[in-house]
Chain A
């Protein structure tokens, strides 16, 4: 019995009057070219930059592959020699012995060449692969954040993995192609040299194979790609079922999904059978052509032997060569595909490597010293991700060393952007941002990083132990420092309650912790970094009141003796600040202490009097009129 479609058909339209089935499983988008031009000079030259350091290895492996090929070509000739001069037409044992000695020498050379070639090529290709990946990864550490904001992680990962791998494959097969081309030429030359007439006759099947093969390649490739894609589609649907299993069960969608999935699996099955048929169809063709070539050698060659025009050893050598004859053609056509694939990948790799680095240290940049004060100043700052549409317009405010300033305002008013500017994630278009009294463009980025600690809205943890996460890049911190910081933010208790305490591994980025707990760990991480300035984007995600209390307390500890700039959402945080800066649509509209702002009866006081627990709860209607004023 063959797999059939028994389940509910996954149709889109039905004529029985029922509404159409709005259901799919898995989502699949083919968004990348798989094959590029076979040869792209620009890409090749970029890749060559990476191969450059291994020039010596390349030369060695090409020479080795040449020797290897020659030694293989020599073997049928040696056999021929042994037969014709050592065995038939008068026994000549010395010739036989000498030929076998020569044979021994050739196979020794073959052994050495194969060892050198495979080893050197393999290592070289691996090294280049890792070099390219390292170069890309380190480049990504410096490229502009706007690029990173725009680019999906998955896309970059497929550059760092799939595309890099196909470059490796390409390098390896390039060396092999040299061998294959040599082998092909060698066989042709050897046959013609042995007997040009018989050689030509036998070689006449070559063009046939070549034509068939090229014709076949087109269709086969389409079928292989279809099979590959059907696989991705099915696997994508499986992954979706796994990730969304709770939603599926909760909404009782299992049966419908199984029906849809059956459709995908059936398609996948058919696509693979088709690909398999196409892959196998070449076998009888090649075998038949080999048969024809052998028959020709036997008929014509045999006749020539009988006639005495060639010796029998020549015929044997021909038969040997024919056995090997089609191999290089097969691998060369396969390598052609590899090459096209590599060019498409190489093109994508160069795109990543060519992404601009906007923010770099000025040549005369000096480090910010620990002694520099912890002030932050926005001096008529204008900034936009797209310079034509500024998201901060002429914003000025100052945070003195040791002060805490709360930045408030509706979503999209530019709070997070301001925070990014302090750390110089982006460069301003007008005005200046000063930290410790110096323009951030005049100091080194590394020292800026040590001067400022940031806590982001969404706590991001890395796979690793709790301790590693808290210490993160503060290498100088001892275990005691880590523990002290954890205690200070009130996370010590829950950390020690974990199975291995500080050495507990965090599952998939802290998935085994609650959001509040992750938040506290990211506070501890900032505390260990022990910077003069703390910039904090308060979490908006709703956290239960108990955790919120803990976080508020941790925040107080964190801000003690530091300059604090807090994007605040909760009134509790806002009220504890020394000063409040109110932003709206990229413009600073109010600034002052809580009492001052209340007295001023502006946006802030109105919002406050509504008694909302968080600024994010504020409906748009309330901020509308002030918006009009701001623009």
Chain B
């Protein structure tokens, strides 16, 4: 597999901006992108060579057809022995047949090899994009719209793919046709040749101008259509709100506004297209008329043969299409340069959280997790540290609870331990090894997180549970599901563990999702197990059953639990209370209650929800 993709490392600025569809690329970047795509195509030298040679031969065949036709016409005009003419006609006819067949075969070879270069390129790029996206850290994904990434991986890739066949090869073909054609015509008769080609500059200019306008308006149209589809989609997804407020008229107004803008723009695009194509056709026919008139006079005066005139006229018909398509070529260049720039920006994005050179795997022995004065700020919010000065240690078998108001940094802290982000200061070690000094993959295997809102994959329940361990046996899967209190529900489903869940499968309640995501995490054998507020939607009774089921499992590892419901933490060996990214209280439940601080106030609030709430607020 070739990998010319990763070459120059352009600076990582705001990904939101880089991937914006409307943002135009700097000219330099565009040129760079095009030359890089060209280099990537050259990684397939065999196919590129075939495509180029076939293009030359196809052009030659194409150009000889008008000449042969002219000869044939002249052969019928030659006054003399009929037999000689017949022989000449036969030779010409057979040559023409052969040339036509060859033209077809060369064009086939040209198009097919050109497209196959594009597809091979797309193949490599798809894998590179996929790999990159999987490796780019959380901080990147936090700041990038998933929709933008999808368009880069789909539309931009398509734009790059089309470059070789629609831009490069066609340019060569057009150059050959126009160049050799012009030489042949002008050397036959200068003035008539110029007349015959006179439509070309105009058509080329119109076609280019038209395509550039169409491209520009296309981008705007896409944006308008995106707004329209968003209006529709939100309306349908929120149909109950719409009905509840009886706001169909309001929604229709939103729809009409978006729809009318898009329609007006579509009309404008049609006008642009119609104007240009009609003008190009007119120019072409006008040139043909001129050739007919002037050429006709020449023929009438005996200065030119009818066949030569016929050659001129057929030449024009052959040149017409490629010249009119010049705009498409220009468009293909423009597309390749902007699409390529975005695609390469993604591929060149530095992977900030990555294995250090020659890093060994993490070796878990004692299973002790240690955080030492850890501090971290999100990119884009450098002024505000989400967590700071966090130190604590937890040994195998211990459970540490983490509590705090929303935004106090609980999730952030939990994301630092599996190295989703790198700490800005301090260190996190497992059995004395800094997690930055060992391989990422081994850290991820040692630290498992049940996320706050977990992503489930649209596939069977068993595939979801076995996500982290795809070669697990049925019995292990069922055991995990049992521990997560999911098994009884699963066996009641029509297809049991084969039931597809997610977007297109059965929809799950919040509690079921959380239990599924717990089951999936239990398949791993991590040294550190983290529950980030992941039992919130599970009722208290079920939660306590899950906890009981996990007693043995938890004995072999460190367990960290973030929870709002304090009853979930009653069994913790230690509880940390976070506020503004710092640990402000810590101790056992009883110690903290005795302390009478924030934890105790929160406890009070939860036990007596109807009590005067104003006072309880920290």
Contacts and interface: CB of A to CB of B under 8 A. Distances in A.
Contact of A107 (B134, B245, B286): B286
A460 B112 contact: no
A220 B94 CA distance: 31
A157 interface: yes
B270 A295 contact: no
B357 interface: no
Nearest to A154: B503
B445 A252 contact: yes
Given A4-B1, A75-B285, A549-B617, A570 B609 contact: yes
Contacts of B30: none
Contacts of B99: 291
A195 interface: no
A544 B405 contact: yes
Interface string A273-297: 1001100110111111011101110
A157 B233 contact: yes
A545 B605 contact: yes
A57 interface: no
Interface string A593-631: 000000000000000000011001111000000000000
A295 B94 contact: yes
16 contacts: A19-B473, A22-B466, A115-B278, A157-B229, A238-B133, A250-B418, A253-B470, A254-B441, A273-B115, A287-B104, A449-B246, A463-B234, A472-B247, A473-B245, A473-B247, A617-B540
Contacts of B373: none
Contacts of A3: 1, 120, 123-124
Contacts of A83: 296, 299, 306, 309
B610 interface: yes
Contacts of B405: 544, 546
Contacts, number: 445
Interface in B75-117: 75-77, 82, 85-86, 89-90, 92-94, 96-101, 103-105, 107-108, 111-112, 115-116
A326 to B, nearest CB: 12
A618 B616 CA distance: 26
B467 A251 contact: yes
B325 interface: no
A240 B448 contact: no
Contact of B127 (A21, A91, A265, A273): A265
B213 interface: no
A29 B289 contact: no
B300 A288 contact: no
B406 interface: yes
A134 B255 contact: yes
Contact of A242 (B150, B234, B537, B613): B150
B153 A456 contact: no
Contacts of B216: none
Interface stretch (A36-44, A116-124, A173-181, A341-349): A116-124
Measured as residues with beta carbon below 8 angstroms from the partner, the interface class of chain B is 35 or more
Nearest to B466: A22
Contacts of B441: 252, 254-255
B148 to A, nearest CB: 10
Given A295-B96, A529-B245, A6 B471 contact: no
Interface in B295-325: 296-297, 299-301, 306, 309-310, 313-314, 317
A516 B299 CA distance: 88
Interface centre among A235, A299, A460, A545 (most CB of B within 10 A): A545
A294 B292 contact: no
Contacts of B565: 542, 613
A496 interface: no
Contacts of B459: 24, 27
Contact of B116 (A97, A152, A276): A276
Sorted from nearest, which 8 A-B pairs have the closest CB atoms? Answer: A449-B246, A291-B100, A287-B104, A284-B104, A542-B536, A473-B247, A251-B468, A454-B244
Scoring A83, A99, A257, A285 by chain B CB atoms within 10 A of each residue's CB, the highest score goes to A83
B444 interface: yes
Contacts of B209: none
Interface string A258-279: 1001100110110011001100
A111 B238 CA distance: 50
Nearest to A168: B266
B127 A315 contact: no
Nearest to B446: A252
B60 interface: no
A124 to B, nearest CB: 10
B237 interface: yes
Interface in B497-555: 500, 502-504, 510, 520-521, 524, 536-537, 539-542
B220 interface: no
B497 to A, nearest CB: 10
A114 B282 CA distance: 10
B359 interface: no
Given A250-B418, A617-B539, A137 B255 contact: yes
B240 A145 contact: yes
Contacts of B130: 237-238, 241, 257-258, 261, 265
A292 B94 CA distance: 9
Given A114-B277, A541-B536, A572-B609, A288 B104 contact: yes
B251 interface: yes
Interface in A101-160: 103-104, 107, 110-111, 114-115, 118-119, 122-123, 126-127, 130, 133-134, 137-138, 140-142, 145, 148, 152-154, 156-157, 160
A238 B130 CA distance: 7
A60 interface: no
Given A156-B236, A248-B134, A269-B123, A118 B537 contact: no
Contacts of B504: 27, 29, 152
A306 interface: yes
A265 B130 CA distance: 10
Interface stretch (B167-175, B327-335, B450-458, B580-588): B450-458
Contacts of A99: 292, 296
Contact of A294 (B100, B119, B472, B541): B100
Contact of A618 (B448, B466, B539): B539
Interface string A439-468: 000000110111011101000101100000
A25 to B, nearest CB: 9
Given A22-B462, A238-B150, A288 B101 contact: yes
A97 to B, nearest CB: 8
A256 to B, nearest CB: 6
B316 to A, nearest CB: 11
Given A276-B112, A449-B245, A547-B406, 8 more contacts: A21-B470, A107-B282, A110-B281, A118-B278, A268-B126, A291-B101, A509-B234, A617-B540
Interface stretch (A316-324, A328-336, A372-380, A394-402): A316-324
Contact of A23 (B463, B541, B617): B463
B241 interface: yes
A96 B89 contact: no
Contacts of A305: 76-77
B100 to A, nearest CB: 3
Contacts of A319: 69, 310, 314
B274 interface: yes
Contacts of B112: 276-277, 280
Contacts of B438: none
A546 B613 CA distance: 9
A553 interface: yes
B239 A546 contact: no
A122 B250 contact: no
B263 A258 contact: no
A269 B296 CA distance: 53
